[in-house]
Amino acid sequence: MLYLLYQGLADHHLSVPGLNLLRYLTFRGGMTVATAQLVVVAMGSRFIRWMRARQGKGQPIRDDGIERHVLEKAGTPTMGGLMFLAGIGVSTLLWADLSNVYVWVVLMVTVGFGLLGFMDDYAKVTRQTTAGVSGRARLAVEAAIAVAAVLIMIQFGQPSPEGARLSTSLAFPIFKRALIDLSWFYLAFGAFIIVGASNAVNFTDGLDGLATVPVMIAAATFGLIAYLAGNFVFANYLQLHFVPGVGELAVICAAIVGSGLGFLWYNAPPARIFMGDSGALALGGAIGAVAVATKHEIVLGIVGGLFVVETVSVIVQVLWFKRTGRRVFLMAPIHHHFEKLGWSEPTVVIRFWIVAVMLAMLGLSTLKLR
């Protein structure tokens, strides 16, 4: 909004002192972090009290898991993802270039997945069960939103110097200009990345603060990637695929980081509110959409390796149990396995944060290894 105001004044050759700072993506990114954090912190206590009054018993806790979780976390309200959505929405609308198609696509995915997660959380709270919206129905809606998002990126994204081929191609890290043109199959591939990232974050969200910080780390990493891939000079220097206009997604990534900082104030152990599906699905979908837009889908698998491991642990556990009747892990997702081994919750959370940082550094290293 403010960027469009600046553009309008500039087109009429009007100058307002200090307003020219809006030209710089780095300035708007910094202001986005501060704005998102302020929005979430400001609404936090009131929102938590309001949610606690309406949710009664709070989010149902799995009774087949860690016994102390049932005792310690019972009554904690959920749907904290709505705080994320507020912070991301307000700060992005305020500081981003609203004429940029990528901004609206990622916002569409974030809000769409967030509303779906809200419905899931609402069903769990009202029925007091860990089973929310039907898994198949949820995946179908997620897939529809993701396919629409990828299609809009292909059709309405700004043309790349590499031609239309880039929009439907899979790029590879390390290999300079290697591309595999998937043609219209890219719709399914891109949608898989977005839906997969969304559900991977959702699997990770199981301990106080466990998903929040890795999401912030991934968002900060992809904010930098978006900034570099959307800048012709930097992209050319690093031999990245230049995607015009995608740099503006650094603002949304900054909004995720800022909202995460605000939310962590209330979600740090012991959590006063849980993120819930309304947050996990939205944040994972947003990061997945940014990865697709920037043509760094494979790098997402590295940066978000923690989310990948959490998801794989669930898949392996379910498949192996169905086949043999035995479990590979003491409990899945894998963070509960380590709790069963005797690790305290803060130990699991902090060590997983460390792993997330290491993976982010590894993912960023691929930008230079060409």
The SS3 call for residue 335 is: helix
Q: 108 to each of 159, 268, 331, 333, 361, how far by Cα in Å? A: 21, 28, 35, 29, 29
Is the residue at 256 inside a domain? Answer: yes
**Structure confidence at residue 65 (pLDDT):** 57
pLDDT confidence of residue 51: 85
Residue 269 pLDDT: 79
Please report, in tens digits, the pLDDT of each residue of the chain (370 residues total).
776 776 776 665 566 666 778 888 999 999 999 999 999 999 988 999 888 887 665 566 655 556 555 556 667 888 899 999 999 999 999 999 999 999 999 999 999 999 999 998 888 777 766 666 777 889 999 999 999 999 999 998 776 776 657 889 999 888 777 788 998 899 999 999 999 999 999 999 988 889 999 999 999 999 999 999 999 999 999 989 899 999 999 999 999 999 999 999 998 878 889 999 999 999 999 999 999 999 999 999 999 999 999 999 999 999 999 999 899 999 989 999 999 999 999 999 999 999 999 999 999 999 887 6
Q: Residue 210 has what pLDDT?
A: 93
For residue 7, tell me if it sits in a domain: no
Give the angle subtended at the CA of 276 by the CAs of 83 and 49, to the nearest 5°: 55
Per the domain annotation, does 264 fall within a domain? yes
Listing DSSP states for 198-226 in one string gives HHHHHHH--STTTTHHHHHHHHHHHHHHH
- Domain residues for the domain of 305 are 26-365
Instruction: Report pLDDT for 125.
Output: 78
Helices (H), 128-179: 135-156
Give the pLDDT of residue 135: 78
Q: Is residue 261 part of a domain?
A: yes
Residue 170 within any structural domain of the chain:
yes
Q: How far apart are CA 46 and CA 368, in angstroms?
A: 46
Q: Is residue 1 domain-resident?
A: no
Residue located via tokens 């501060």: 34
Residue 14 lies in a domain: no
Question: Which pLDDT value is given to residue 174?
Answer: 81
What pLDDT, on a 0 to 100 scale, did the predictor assign at position 214?
97
Total domain count, the chain:
1
What distance lies between CA 147 and its chain's CA centroid? 17
| Per-residue confidence (pLDDT) for residue 94, from 0 to 100 | 95
Q: Residue 131: its pLDDT value, please?
A: 63
In a domain, 2, yes or no: no
